[in-house]
Copies of this chain bind each other. A is one copy, B any other.
Amino acid sequence: MAGVNKVILVGNLGQDPEVRHLEGGASVATFSIATSDSYTDRDGNRQTQTEWHNIVMWRGLATIAEKYLKKGSKVYIEGKLQYRSYEKDGVTRYITDIVARDMQMLDSRQDGQSNNGGYVPPTAANAPAAQPTSTPTPAAATPQATPDLSGAEGKDDLPF
């Protein structure tokens, strides 16, 4: 009954999002993004450490991910940490997911065009806050990640 659990990432997708459409109508997108840290070690050498984060997006965000994200895309993601485990071959595996609730595409529109040769609808490509537009319909659960009512932030305010 307490707490703040917030993750903020900016990184690039390691592969195209994998999207599953659940029975209840909800969809989930999963993919990983890399963030890198540079530092100078005790010998004065420049080192880079890369971390790969498992991202999970539900519903509206999943739809946007499916449409607009692909391997290499740079994104801003805000979400929360969620830990889960499962049994496999008698061994328990532990997984850490970042369940997104806000996402921003950080590739310039030009890049998108030059990269995939396709036309990217301005409204979508520019979509400032890629948050679920569809209602967070309580969806079918899946064994691996929990539904998020994602993308609530900001979408709601009226300026006056």
Most central of A99, A123, A148, A159 by chain B CB within 10 Å: A159
B-binding residues in A (CB < 8 A):
1-12, 24, 26, 34-42, 46-49, 51-53, 58-61, 64, 68, 74-76, 78, 80-84, 91, 93-96, 99, 101-112, 114, 120-160
B4, B108, B122: which contacts A153 (Cβ < 8 A)?
A: B4
14 additional A-B pairs beyond A3-B35, A103-B143, beta carbons within 8 Å, are A3-B37, A3-B129, A6-B7, A7-B8, A38-B151, A40-B139, A101-B153, A106-B150, A112-B144, A124-B143, A127-B142, A130-B143, A131-B155, A133-B141
The 10 closest A-B pairs by CB, nearest first: A158-B159, A149-B157, A128-B151, A127-B142, A149-B156, A3-B35, A104-B150, A2-B151, A141-B160, A130-B143
